[in-house]
Every structure is written in structure tokens, then in C-alpha cells.
């Protein structure tokens, strides 16, 4: 159990910065997910936490103790690797027992703890096998078993379920979250899958190009992204972005585009500080904040032509062609529109966002 | 790496080729095995029987080769008069010693070259291999001069050092390939689990065991069969089997029977070793080459 503080940390590979001035505080006992696309510096951060990479600048503290110069074995962390990194020549039992053996635990303790971990992960019947005889999901459980068999200060999970099939991944999400809550140990979980981060984490740190974009709870990240990049990365299907013009002043501010002109809500006008008025901006709307209809609705709406319908099992995703972009709309499967027909989109203005056209920061 | 069924459809030409291939293999077997058979059989014959030959063209007289009363006197001569027990020990110590030393230093060096990036690494690696590029004979004289001034000529440590000089680059070269194929993640996992760097290194040694096994065999073979080093650097105090066998050829008296027996004594252990680790050797040599 530990509070993890990352303070002004930089990581350089030769001249290339991989992590830029990262600042994070992970509260004791929390489940923190570092989310970002590949190459965003999330794995470098994790490896610096584990002690597998040097920290180019800055400090990492566990409970106010600086651990920059400690070897991995002295940091008391447990890590699950993306490729599991099991010892191929050892049985499952010996794989899980390894951290205890290295700490010279007694044979009785080892037996006790390994069996306990195996029971928790439901792999008791596999203890005599070797990793090559296991399926992907089983290997992953063994890797987790090796991490939880002792009680470390911190768990580091590096995309542990990225290589599992979709069904098993969904199952393991629940299991890992339950496990973390049961053990109560601080966990840092690196992933590129926004769904994993949203569904499991207490806090999410979104990274892009080595920089922390946003820190917050899953709902903050999803509902109040700080910039267009975060908004576009989180959420599936992805948010629609349309470049539009801000018109008017005072109370009557509207977003104007060739296909629509929609007024902002009164509460939102104030958030567009004066500088942004009467310029271009990027409107961001998630597919589920749009309603599609084949007849012109009352009130402001976006006019477009249906491009294609995609059935996603329980939902239907409709792509609508505007003058310069396509927007995706989530609707029900009984939607009757056909490609080529004209349709109208109504925006749920409680849930839309406007981003600066230049640096992409969110006005609201 | 599962073997696959090779699908093939016979044409008359292929049938002929297959018969030719069998004939070739049979001839090749006779060509390679006959010397050993003659050596083995002759070592149990007394001199008169050993030189009994059938007339040229008399294929029925081939039985003459096997018409003899076995005698063990040549082996008795070797061990009682010629001190071969001692030479066997010398060969074993020289071959085994250099193999062990080469494996220890070779695996450490190969591990470093495989895992650590440092300036001049590729040059260093090339230099290590390049020491094997010069023919042994070319460096024999300077090597002898160095060994003589260090009082190493005619001693077992000297011989071990000489073999190690030539085996170590080979060990580094072979083992680096094996270490390269072991995922680094395994050591990282070990270190996070609580291992030191050295413990992490020893923990992956079982994964390169095929490579180490293959190397030990090649290294022992090289030292065991070597004549040049043994004759020049080991001569006198550290006489090995090939040199001792050579000394059975004396100006007035070539001891054919003893030479045959010495040949058997020299060859048999290596053949046994080859049989025992045959499977290991093949997986070892191919595992480094093919990435799975």
C-alpha cells in the first residue's frame, strides 16, 4: 500500500523525449489507469516506476520516499507484463512461488501463499503444468498470481489483457477490478484501450506524445474532456468533430456551418471567453448525443444525407454526410432511413463540446 | 517447429533418382565406416593376422578379414607399457577444463554483448570473432614463444589456456545468438520479483542450455581431436592421446596393433558422447538459428 507521486519526470531515449514533465499523484489504494495510444510514453512511465528504466529527470516517490536510485528488487513492486514473461522452464507453481523463493520465504509459507493465490485466480488445477501448456488467459492468470503472491506496495499492470480475445478480456476486466478492491493495493494499470480504463479505473491519466493531457475520474474524462485530443481518444464510437463558425455576441451566440446553425445554451455562452467569439471553433458531439430523424424536427437541426448504415448488434450506427465531413450517429436498430436520403440530426446541447480551433482546448 | 508432410508425386525420373540416392548413401556409409571397422577389428588381431589379405579380385576371400583369434594384448601394451591411462586423463582434463572455462567466461561475455549497449560494442564483437579467422598454424610460433616465456609449455594449464584462447570466441559467438533469442522480459520479471542482475542472469541459463550443451560438445571435440597444440604446447608434461598415438610410430618399429588400439581408445569416448547428446546437439544448433 503506497501513495505514488511522480514529480516533474522526464524520460529521454537519446535525444528523443518519451515522457515530458509528468506530474501525477496516485492516492493510496486507488486503481489508476494510464491511458494513451502506443508511443505516448505510458509504458516508459511504468518501467520507470518498476526500476527497469532510468529516470532522466525528476523524482518518483513511494509514500514520500524517493525511489529513483533503488534497484527493482528493493522497490517492492509487483508487475504483470504485456507478454506475461513467465519462466518457460518452470511449472506454474514455481512461477508463482518465484518472488517468495527470491525472498527466502519458508517452504510452508510458499506452499500456503501459492495455493491461496491459485485458488483466488482459479488455477489450482494447473499448478503442475508448464507455461507452454497453458492458454493465453491461463498464462495471464499465472502472471497475475506471481504478482499477488506477496503483498507489494504497488501493482504495475502493463496491458495485461491486450492479447486476450474479446470475451475473455471483458471477463478479466471485472476480475482484475474485483481483485484490486479485495486486496486494496495501489494499482497502476497501463492500457491503450479506453474501454478498459473507463470501466476499471478510479482515476485515469490520459497521455499523448509524452505529455499528461488530463487527470480525472472516468466520468470526468468522458464527460468533460479538457481538449479535443482527449475527447477524440476516449469513447467508442469516437466523437464527431465539425469545424464551425461562432456567430453573434451577447446572448445570441450560434455555431454556424453550411449544414446548420445552432444556438449555444445560455450557460455555455459565458464559457466562450471573448477571444473566441466571432471566429472558428470545433464542435464535438458524441454519436449518442445526436438524434436522427427523417422529418424536419422542431428547433435547430443539422441537415445531411445518409451515407451508410452499420448494424452493431443492439444499436445502429448511421454515417451522415455533411458538406465537408461525415458524422456518426447512434440510433436504434429499427431506424428506417436508407443511404442517399436526406435526414436531420438534433444535438443534445447538454452534452456537446466546443473546442478552440487552434490548440484544441475545450471551452466546455 | 512441427515437421510437415512433404507432398510429392512420383515421376519415373524421381524413381530412378531415389534408387541412385540409396546407392550413394550405401557407398558413403562404406566409405566413412570402413576405416573404423578395420581399426576396431585390427586392434584385436595380432600382427600376422592383421596383414592377412585375400588375393586381388577374390571377393569370396573376404572372410579372411574375420578369421582370427581375438587378443587383448595390444590394449594391455597401451596401458601397461605406454602409460595410456595417464594420457587419457590428460586429454580429459585439457578438453574438459577448457570447455568449462570457455562456457563460464563465454556465457558471461555473450550475455553482456546480448543485453547491454555500450560504445564500440559491434567493433568489440567483430574483434572477438576475428581472432578465429587466422589459421591456427599462423599464430603457433608467436604463441609458443609467449607460452615458453611464461613457463607454460608442457603443462596442462598451458594446454587448457591454449584451447580456451580458441574456444572462447567461439563460445561467445554461439551463446550470444542463444541469449538474443531469450526475451528480455523474463529477466525483467525476475528483477521485479526480487532478483539481482546476476540472479536474473543465472535464472535464464536453463533457457540457453541447448546452446551451452552444443558448445561443450564442439569444444570438447576440438580439444580432444587436436594434434597441433598438443604436440607443440603440450609436448612432454601434458601429452594427450593423439600425440601419444603418434609416438607409437618409431623409426624401426611401427606398432600397428597398439596404434589401432589407441585409435579405438581415442575414438570411442567421442562416439559415445555424440550418441548420448545427439538429440541435444541438433536442437541446440538449430535453435539459435531459427526464430520461432
Within this chain, do residues A273 and A229 fall inside the same structural domain, yes or no? no
Q: Which of A339, A301, A295, A336 is nearest to A320 (CA)?
A: A339
Interfacial B residues in 189-248 facing A (CB < 8 Å): 189-196, 199, 203, 206-207
Average pLDDT over residues B157-173: 90
Lowest mean pLDDT among A43-52, B37-46, B114-123: B37-46
Which residues in A lie closer than 8 A to residue B194 (C-beta atoms)? 73, 99, 102-103
Look at B188 and A50 and tell me if their CB atoms are within 8 Å: yes
Statement: residue B287 has pLDDT above 60: no
Within this chain, do residues A168 and A277 fall inside the same structural domain, yes or no? no
Assess if residue A361 is contained within a domain: no
Q: Which of A318, A301, A322 is nearest to A258 (CA)?
A: A322
Look at A85 and B189 and tell me if their CB atoms are within 8 Å: yes
Within this chain, do residues A265 and A223 fall inside the same structural domain, yes or no? no
Q: What is the CA radius of gyration of chain B?
A: 24
Of B288 and A104, the structure prediction assigns the larger pLDDT to A104
Look at B195 and A103 and tell me if their CB atoms are within 8 Å: no
Average pLDDT over residues B126-144: 86
Quick: pLDDT tens for B247-261.
888 888 788 888 888
Give me the domain span that covers residue A29: 4-233
Look at B192 and A50 and tell me if their CB atoms are within 8 Å: yes
A254 pLDDT band, cuts 50/70/90, is confident
Per the DSSP assignment, residues forming a β-bridge with A346 are A291
In whole angstroms, what is the distance from residue B6 CA to residue A361 CA?
63
Within this chain, do residues B134 and B272 fall inside the same structural domain, yes or no? yes
Q: Could you tell me the pTM of the whole model?
A: 0.79
Q: Which of A178, A212, A233 is the last residue of a domain?
A: A233
Of B6 and A51, the structure prediction assigns the larger pLDDT to A51
Assess if residue A364 is contained within a domain: no
In terms of CA atoms, which chain A residue is nearest residue B183? Answer: A85
Task: Map residue A21 onto helix, strand or coil.
Answer: strand
The three three-digit cell numbers of residue A226, written as one number: 479538457
Of B283 and A116, the structure prediction assigns the larger pLDDT to A116
Assess if residue B5 is contained within a domain: no
Within this chain, do residues B263 and B227 fall inside the same structural domain, yes or no? yes
Asked, as a colleague might, if the bond just before A50 is cis with ω within 30 of 0, I would say no
Alpha carbon of B196: minimum distance to chain A alpha carbons (Å): 7
Look at B192 and A98 and tell me if their CB atoms are within 8 Å: no
A240 pLDDT band, cuts 50/70/90, is very high
Within this chain, do residues A163 and A254 fall inside the same structural domain, yes or no? no
Assess if residue B157 is contained within a domain: yes
Q: Which of A276, A267, A218 is nearest to A247 (CA)?
A: A276
User: From the list A85, A86, A103, which residue is nearest B194 (CB)?
Assistant: A103
In this structure, are residues B189 and A80 in contact, taking their beta carbons and an 8 Å threshold? Answer: no
In order of A33, A181, A198, the CA distances from A202 in angstroms are: 8, 11, 9
Average pLDDT of chain A to the nearest whole number:
90
Domain count, chain B: 2
Within this chain, do residues B87 and B220 fall inside the same structural domain, yes or no? yes
User: From the list A52, A71, A98, which residue is nearest B188 (CB)?
Assistant: A52
Of B92 and B69, the structure prediction assigns the larger pLDDT to B92
Assess if residue B4 is contained within a domain: no
Per cent of chain B over pLDDT 70 is 94
In whole angstroms, what is the distance from residue A22 CA to residue A11 CA?
9
- pLDDT score at B290: 44
Within this chain, do residues A144 and A278 fall inside the same structural domain, yes or no? no
Domain count, chain A: 2
B3 pLDDT band, cuts 50/70/90, is low
Assess if residue A348 is contained within a domain: yes
Statement: residue B44 has pLDDT above 90: no
Within this chain, do residues B205 and B156 fall inside the same structural domain, yes or no? yes
User: From the list A73, A83, A87, which residue is nearest B194 (CB)?
Assistant: A73
Which residues are CB-neighbours of A315 under 8 A, at least 6 positions away?
A: A330, A331, A332, A333
Look at A73 and B196 and tell me if their CB atoms are within 8 Å: yes
- pLDDT score at B292: 38
Q: Which of A179, A201, A233 is the last residue of a domain?
A: A233
Average pLDDT over residues B168-190: 89
Statement: residue B2 has pLDDT above 60: no
Q: A-side interface with B, Cβ within 8 Å? A: 50-52, 71-73, 77-79, 81, 83, 85-89, 98-99, 102-103, 146, 156
The three three-digit cell numbers of residue B252, written as one number: 624401426
Look at B194 and A50 and tell me if their CB atoms are within 8 Å: no
In terms of CA atoms, which chain B residue is nearest residue A82? Answer: B185
Statement: residue A97 has pLDDT above 80: yes
In whole angstroms, what is the distance from residue B213 CA to residue A347 CA?
71
Within this chain, do residues B254 and B219 fall inside the same structural domain, yes or no? yes
Assess if residue B1 is contained within a domain: no
Which residues in B lie closer than 8 A to residue A77 (C-beta atoms)? 192
Within this chain, do residues B124 and B262 fall inside the same structural domain, yes or no? yes
Which residues in B lie closer than 8 A to residue A146 (C-beta atoms)? 189, 193
Per cent of chain A over pLDDT 70 is 98
Return the C-alpha torsion angle A325, A330, A336, A338, nearest 10.
20
Which residues in B lie closer than 8 A to residue A139 (C-beta atoms)? none
B1 pLDDT band, cuts 50/70/90, is very low
Look at B194 and A85 and tell me if their CB atoms are within 8 Å: no
Question: B135 at the A interface (CB within 8 A)?
Answer: no
- pLDDT score at B284: 56
Within this chain, do residues A299 and A162 fall inside the same structural domain, yes or no? no
Q: Kind of pairing, strands A315-321 and A302-312?
A: antiparallel
Lowest mean pLDDT among A178-192, A314-328, B73-87: B73-87
Within this chain, do residues B126 and B96 fall inside the same structural domain, yes or no? yes
- pLDDT score at A180: 92
Per the DSSP assignment, residues forming a β-bridge with B142 are none
In whole angstroms, what is the distance from residue B269 CA to residue A5 CA?
64
Assess if residue B2 is contained within a domain: no
Assess if residue A321 is contained within a domain: yes
Within this chain, do residues A88 and A130 fall inside the same structural domain, yes or no? yes
A and B: number of Cβ contacts within 8 A: 57
Q: Which of A162, A186, A184, A188 is nearest to A173 (CA)?
A: A162
In whole angstroms, what is the distance from residue A341 CA to residue A364 CA?
33
Assess if residue B6 is contained within a domain: no
Statement: residue B288 has pLDDT above 60: no
Return the C-alpha torsion angle A198, A204, A209, A213, nearest 10.
110
Assess if residue A152 is contained within a domain: yes
Provide the ipTM.
Answer: 0.81
In this structure, are residues B41 and B65 in contact, taking their beta carbons and an 8 Å threshold? Answer: yes
In terms of CA atoms, which chain B residue is nearest residue A147? Answer: B193
Within this chain, do residues B57 and B97 fall inside the same structural domain, yes or no? no
With cell 479485495, the residue in question is: A182
- pLDDT score at A225: 94
In this structure, are residues B135 and B210 in contact, taking their beta carbons and an 8 Å threshold? Answer: no
CATH number of the domain bearing residue B164: 1.10.3720.10
- pLDDT score at B112: 93
Average pLDDT over residues B266-272: 88
How far out from the chain centre does Cα A338 lie? 35
Quick: pLDDT tens for A264-283.
888 888 787 665 556 888 99
Assess if residue A362 is contained within a domain: no
Quick: pLDDT tens for A344-363.
999 999 999 999 888 888 88
Within this chain, do residues B135 and B201 fall inside the same structural domain, yes or no? yes
Q: Which of A176, A202, A233 is the last residue of a domain?
A: A233
Look at A146 and B195 and tell me if their CB atoms are within 8 Å: no
In terms of CA atoms, which chain A residue is nearest residue B193? Answer: A99
Look at A51 and B207 and tell me if their CB atoms are within 8 Å: no
A251 pLDDT band, cuts 50/70/90, is low
In whole angstroms, what is the distance from residue A105 CA to residue B122 CA?
42
In terms of CA atoms, which chain A residue is nearest residue B199? Answer: A102
Give me the domain span that covers residue B198: 75-287
Within this chain, do residues A16 and A138 fall inside the same structural domain, yes or no? yes
Q: Which of A50, A61, A43, A54 is nearest to A5 (CA)?
A: A61
In terms of CA atoms, which chain B residue is nearest residue A154? Answer: B192
Quick: pLDDT tens for A114-149.
999 898 888 999 999 998 888 888 898 899 999 989
Look at B191 and A77 and tell me if their CB atoms are within 8 Å: no
Within this chain, do residues B146 and B31 fall inside the same structural domain, yes or no? no
- pLDDT score at A342: 92
Within this chain, do residues A211 and A266 fall inside the same structural domain, yes or no? no
Look at A87 and B193 and tell me if their CB atoms are within 8 Å: no
Look at A52 and B195 and tell me if their CB atoms are within 8 Å: no
Look at A99 and B194 and tell me if their CB atoms are within 8 Å: yes
Alpha carbon of B167: minimum distance to chain A alpha carbons (Å): 28
- pLDDT score at B291: 39
Within this chain, do residues A331 and A209 fall inside the same structural domain, yes or no? no
Alpha carbon of B207: minimum distance to chain A alpha carbons (Å): 7
| Continuous segment of H or E residues that includes residue A344 | strand A342-347
Per the DSSP assignment, residues forming a β-bridge with A331 are A316
Assess if residue B202 is contained within a domain: yes
Assess if residue B292 is contained within a domain: no
Average pLDDT over residues A221-235: 93
Within this chain, do residues A15 and A129 fall inside the same structural domain, yes or no? yes
- pLDDT score at A264: 85
Quick: pLDDT tens for A164-221.
888 888 888 888 899 899 889 999 999 999 999 999 999 999 999 999 999 999 999 9
Within this chain, do residues B178 and B35 fall inside the same structural domain, yes or no? no
User: From the list A79, A83, A88, which residue is nearest B192 (CB)?
Assistant: A79
The three three-digit cell numbers of residue B257, written as one number: 596393433
| Continuous segment of H or E residues that includes residue A347 | strand A342-347
Look at A99 and B183 and tell me if their CB atoms are within 8 Å: no
In this structure, are residues A194 and A187 in contact, taking their beta carbons and an 8 Å threshold? Answer: no
Within this chain, do residues A327 and A211 fall inside the same structural domain, yes or no? no
Statement: residue B64 has pLDDT above 50: yes
- pLDDT score at A61: 93
- pLDDT score at B53: 75
Which residues in B lie closer than 8 A to residue A98 (C-beta atoms)? 190, 193
Give pairs for B20-29: CB < 8 Å, separation 24+: none
Within this chain, do residues B249 and B144 fall inside the same structural domain, yes or no? yes
In whole angstroms, what is the distance from residue B226 CA to residue B159 CA?
11
Look at B185 and A72 and tell me if their CB atoms are within 8 Å: no
Statement: residue A305 has pLDDT above 70: yes
Amino acid at each position: 500500500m503506497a501513495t505514488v507521486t511522480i514529480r516533474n519526470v522526464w524520460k529521454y531515449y537519446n535525444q528523443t523525449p518519451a515522457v515530458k514533465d509528468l506530474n501525477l499523484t496516485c492516492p493510496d489504494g486507488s486503481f489508476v489507469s494510464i491511458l494513451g495510444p502506443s508511443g505516448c510514453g505510458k509504458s516508459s512511465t511504468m518501467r520507470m516506476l518498476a526500476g527497469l528504466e532510468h529516470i532522466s529527470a525528476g523524482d518518483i516517490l513511494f509514500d514520500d520516499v524517493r525511489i529513483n536510485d533503488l534497484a527493482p528488487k528493493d522497490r517492492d513492486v509487483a508487475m504483470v507484463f504485456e507478454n506475461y514473461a513467465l519462466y518457460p522452464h518452470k511449472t506454474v507453481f514455481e512461477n508463482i512461488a518465484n518472488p517468495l523463493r527470491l525472498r527466502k520465504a519458508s517452504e510452508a509459507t510458499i506452499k500456503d501463499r501459492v495455493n491461496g493465490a491459485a485458488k483466488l485466480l482459479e488455477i489450482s488445477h494447473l499448478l503442475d503444468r508448464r507455461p507452454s501448456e497453458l492458454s493465453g488467459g491461463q498464462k495471464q492468470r499465472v502472471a497475475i498470481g506471481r504478482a499477488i503472491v506477496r503483498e507489494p506496495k504497488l501493482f504495475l499492470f502493463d496491458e495485461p489483457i491486450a492479447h486476450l480475445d474479446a470475451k475473455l478480456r471483458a471477463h478479466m476486466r471485472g476480475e482484475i477490478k474485483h481483485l484490486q478492491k479485495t486486496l486494496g493495493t495501489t494499482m497502476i494499470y497501463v492500457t491503450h484501450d479506453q474501454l478498459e480504463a473507463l470501466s476499471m479505473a478510479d482515476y485515469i491519466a490520459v497521455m499523448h506524445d509524452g505529455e499528461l493531457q488530463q487527470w480525472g475520474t472516468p466520468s470526468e474524462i468522458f464527460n468533460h474532456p479538457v481538449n479535443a485530443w482527449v475527447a477524440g481518444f476516449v469513447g467508442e464510437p469516437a466523437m464527431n468533430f465539425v469545424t464551425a463558425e461562432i456567430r453573434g455576441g451577447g446572448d445570441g451566440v450560434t455555431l454556424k456551418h453550411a449544414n446548420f446553425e445552432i444556438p449555444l445554451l445560455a450557460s455555455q455562452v459565458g464559457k466562450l471567453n471573448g477571444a473566441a467569439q466571432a471566429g472558428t471553433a470545433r464542435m464535438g458531439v458524441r454519436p449518442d448525443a445526436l438524434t436522427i430523424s427523417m422529418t424536419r424536427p422542431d428547433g435547430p437541426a443539422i441537415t445531411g444525407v445518409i451515407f451508410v448504415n452499420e448494424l452493431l448488434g443492439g444499436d445502429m450506427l448511421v454515417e451522415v454526410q455533411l458538406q465537408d465531413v461525415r458524422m456518426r450517429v447512434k440510433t436504434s436498430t429499427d431506424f428506417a432511413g436508407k443511404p442517399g436520403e436526406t435526414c436531420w440530426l438534433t444535438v443534445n446541447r447538454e452534452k456537446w463540446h466546443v473546442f478552440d480551433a487552434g490548440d484544441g482546448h475545450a471551452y466546455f | 517447429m512441427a515437421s510437415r508432410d512433404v507432398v510429392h508425386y512420383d515421376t519415373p525420373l524421381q524413381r530412378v533418382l531415389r534408387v541412385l540416392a540409396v546407392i550413394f548413401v550405401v557407398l558413403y556409409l562404406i566409405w566413412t565406416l570402413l576405416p573404423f571397422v578395420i581399426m576396431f577389428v585390427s586392434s584385436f588381431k595380432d600382427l600376422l593376422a592383421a596383414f592377412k589379405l585375400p588375393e586381388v579380385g577374390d571377393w569370396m576371400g573376404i572372410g579372411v578379414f574375420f578369421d582370427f583369434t581375438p587378443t587383448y594384448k595390444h590394449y594391455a601394451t597401451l596401458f601397461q607399457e605406454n602409460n595410456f591411462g595417464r594420457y587419457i586423463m590428460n586429454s580429459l582434463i585439457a578438453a574438459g577444463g577448457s570447455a568449462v572455462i570457455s562456457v563460464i567466461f563465454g556465457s558471461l561475455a555473450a550475455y553482456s554483448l546480448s543485453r547491454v549497449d555500450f560504445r564500440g560494442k559491434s567493433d568489440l564483437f567483430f574483434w572477438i570473432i576475428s581472432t578465429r579467422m587466422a589459421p591456427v598454424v599462423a599464430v603457433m610460433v608467436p604463441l609458443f614463444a609467449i607460452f615458453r616465456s611464461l613457463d607454460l609449455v608442457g603443462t596442462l594449464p598451458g594446454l587448457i589456456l591454449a584451447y580456451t584462447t580458441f574456444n572462447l570466441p567461439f563460445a561467445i559467438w554461439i551463446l550470444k545468438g542463444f541469449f538474443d533469442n531469450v526475451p528480455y522480459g523474463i529477466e525483467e520479471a525476475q528483477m521485479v520479483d526480487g532478483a539481482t542482475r546476476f540472479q536474473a542472469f543465472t535464472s535464464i541459463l536453463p533457457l540457453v542450455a541447448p546452446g551451452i550443451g552444443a558448445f561443450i560438445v564442439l569444444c570438447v571435440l576440438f580439444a580432444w581431436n587436436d594434434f597441433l597444440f598438443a604436440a607443440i604446447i603440450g609436448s612432454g608434461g601434458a601429452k594427450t592421446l593423439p600425440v601419444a598415438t603418434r609416438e607409437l610410430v618409431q623409426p624401426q618399429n611401427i606398432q600397428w596393433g597398439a596404434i589401432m588400439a589407441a585409435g579405438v581408445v581415442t575414438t570411442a569416448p567421442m562416439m559415445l558422447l555424440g550418441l548420448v547428446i545427439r538429440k541435444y546437439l541438433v536442437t541446440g544448433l538449430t535453435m539459435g538459428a531459427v526464430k520461432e
